[in-house]
Chains A and B, each alone.
Chain A
Amino acid sequence: MKLNGAQILVNCLQSEGIDHIFGYPGGAVLHIYDALNACDKIKHILVRHEQGAVHGADGYARVSGKCGVALVTSGPGLTNAVTGIATAYMDSIPMVVISGQVSSAVIGNDAFQEVDAVGITRSCVKHNFLVTDINDLVNVVKKAFHIATTGRPGPVLIDITKDTTIAKIEFSGYPKSINMRSYQPEIKIKTTQITKAVALIVQAKKPIIYSGGGSVIGNADKILRVFTRHTGFPITQTLMGLGAYPASDKQALGMLGMHGTYESNMAMHDSDCIIAVGARFDDRITGNLDKFCPYAKIIHIDIDPSSVGKTVGVNVSIIGQVNDALSALMQALKGKQLADISQWWAQIETWRSVDSMAYKTKAGVIKPQSVIEALYEVTKGEAIVTSDVGQHQMWAAQYYLFDKPRRWINSGGLGTMGFGLPAAMGAKLAAPEMDVACVTGEGSIQMMLQELSTMLQYDTPVKIINLNNGYLGMVRQWQEFFYDKRYSMSYMDALPDFVKLAESYGHIGIKVEKEADLKPALIEAFKQKNRTVFLDILIDPSENVFPMIPAGAGHHEMLLAGRDDMASTNDEGLNLV
């Protein structure tokens, strides 16, 4: 039977097992929307802004582990989607974004709603395609999903001209698999590297496992636990890795890096053997590269060779899936004696006893840290928590102990304000049975507020925890420390009444001004299983995120809360901000 390009596309998506698409229509994709209308297997979520569509698909992908799909029209539809695409790219999220394009006959003519989608997105996608011939469509779709979901995952854009969606050909089915000579994501672990790594591991007196997003992306939580327990090594996790190893376990030292725990950063600094597992030595982790881990031999497990040796030189690289690499290490360690590390643990316990996450309470004000602790308690640590970007993001990461992967959903690499709310919507669609909380700030939430409307339409009840400090708090903190308290443009006057706002979108709004009201309000919010509840919580506007490694400093030079020696940095440090 002859089908048009739009129908073929929808057929392919169905064969790919896609059940949700986040999108927004427009002229160039009208044929695709017409074909979607006739398909009852795929649920389309009509967002209110294309950035929300891509973040929605992203949240869906992070929680489900499946490929997210977004659909946008040409021109402004595509440009609105770019922030979402770049966000997914930086965090290695599997996603296919389909954009309409003007007809091939007028491409390059500055036609109505024409932009060079492939050119604009080139540097923030894993790959992209422009389809101008219907005969290429099926293979391109297959390739796009193959590329997006294998190896180091990432977003792939398919830009489809309008005439391709209209043209008709005989559709002979969707291929089961595809082979590309230029893309071979299956990598076999090299035994020689395993042998070298084991030699370092058995000698290590001050070892530490530094696990990142790759352990989540690669679904390696089980083997990570087995490996960590078997070795008895301490483990620290990046912002992107939280949950792969249970935070409440005694071997877990908490997050590392700029706002990581004292014990994590000190242990990294003093370690003689770092086992990096799916982590990419980001500058929020390393701080000043000259001072980073001066004593350590480094073993680096990563699927992407370009992540290895990019910022930090390593001694042994193991290229491949975290699962495969850790299994191979486990195998090779069988029957081998490890060095005694009891002294190392004793040292770590003294760092731990500093209690770097302690914070001072003040009568009459709500401390943001206590909000997250209460959230943890009320949800019994079992919720999916999404976040926006800023101080609230760090507090959520520090005080909500994630024991399972795919529960902590945030934009780490790009740091995109506006991510939290649409991601929460996507998360709820991926896991309808779970409680979903979106920890946000009054600055971030206003970047994607309109999605409250989508959330009513598609009945995706989440709890919005607005840590309202009246400031672009993270910016204010930097200005306090490094710009002599010149608070340039970090205060937003004229905030909306969030309670009324939530109500006008058909949701429940609750304002929390007193400490005593906090817990009851949270309990009430989570009792409302089928409603989205917006908790506007007025927190201490002067609170800062600690511990902190000032830009340019080393891990052992971190600042702790409640000390007088205020943060300082030099011009070199400010370049790293």
Chain B
Amino acid sequence: MRHIISLQLENESGALSRVAGLFSARGFNIESLTVAPTNDETLSRMTIVSIGDDDIVEQIVKQLDKLIDVVRVTNLTATGHIERELALVKIDVSPNSQAEIDKHIDEYGGKIVGVSEDTYTVEVAGKSQRVDDFLVSIDASKILEVSRTGVTGVCQKREY
């Protein structure tokens, strides 16, 4: 099963490599990992998507919690949560395919954020599934480049 794990960790050099190192050393899988500082500049927020059985994920959460730099670990999948991902997609737009592509951009709430002679760069955001669906909707031969941020998420309730 797919799990979204959210971490708050001390904003210290080396904290990221401790987390990444733990996953590789223990053979845990990482689908995506995002990290950035938060409103509290001493803390970073990291969101990890991992696929595994419940007991593996339980072990992942425990091992993460054990890292000294980690202040808090939450398995977002276990509670009400919001997840978002953003992708930048560079698309080949020849005159005869443009209308079709415009339609899909509209349908998925995409935004054209860059234009060149024969390409669009489109921003799509939403749940990962939405980004996946958008990519599928576009003729694969027209997709020149994809850059996805990976999932970030928060828990829905005030406290968790």
Contacts and interface: CB of A to CB of B under 8 A. Distances in A.
Interface of A: 118-119, 122-123, 126-127, 130, 147, 180-183, 304-306, 309-310, 313
Interface string B89-114: 00000000000000000000000000
B100 to A, nearest CB: 50
27 contacts: A118-B14, A119-B17, A122-B17, A122-B18, A123-B21, A123-B25, A127-B68, A130-B13, A130-B14, A180-B68, A181-B71, A182-B9, A182-B10, A182-B69, A182-B70, A182-B71, A183-B68, A305-B62, A305-B65, A306-B62, A306-B63, A306-B65, A309-B55, A309-B58, A309-B59, A310-B59, A313-B55
A108 to B, nearest CB: 12
**Most chain A Cβ neighbours within 10 Å, of B13, B55, B59, B66:** B66
A304 B66 contact: yes
Nearest to A182: B71
Contact of B59 (A118, A181, A306): A306
Interface in B25-77: 25, 55, 58-59, 62-63, 65-66, 68-71
A183 B59 CA distance: 18
Contacts of B21: 122-123
Given A122-B18, A123-B21, A123-B25, A306 B66 contact: yes
Interface in B1-27: 9-10, 13-14, 17-18, 21, 25
Contacts of A182: 9-10, 68-71
A226 to B, nearest CB: 30
Given A126-B68, A182-B71, 7 more contacts: A119-B17, A147-B68, A180-B68, A182-B68, A305-B65, A310-B59, A313-B55
A8 B144 CA distance: 58
Interface of B: 9-10, 13-14, 17-18, 21, 25, 55, 58-59, 62-63, 65-66, 68-71
- Chain A interface helix/strand/loop/mixed: mixed
Contacts of B70: 182
A306 B68 CA distance: 14
Contacts of A147: 68
A123 B25 CA distance: 7
Nearest to B69: A182
A182 B63 CA distance: 14
A165 B73 CA distance: 36
Contacts of A313: 55
A126 B10 CA distance: 16
A309 B62 CA distance: 10
Contacts of A183: 68
A147 B69 CA distance: 12
Contacts of B18: 122
A127 B9 CA distance: 14
A226 B21 CA distance: 42
Nearest to A152: B66
Contacts of A309: 55, 58-59
B17 to A, nearest CB: 7
Which 5 pairs across A and B sit closest by C-beta, in order of nearness? Answer: A306-B62, A127-B68, A182-B71, A123-B25, A305-B62
A305 B58 CA distance: 10
A309 B58 CA distance: 9
A166 B13 CA distance: 23
Contacts of A122: 17-18, 21
A304 B67 CA distance: 12
Nearest to B10: A182
B55 to A, nearest CB: 7
B79 to A, nearest CB: 19
Contacts of B13: 130
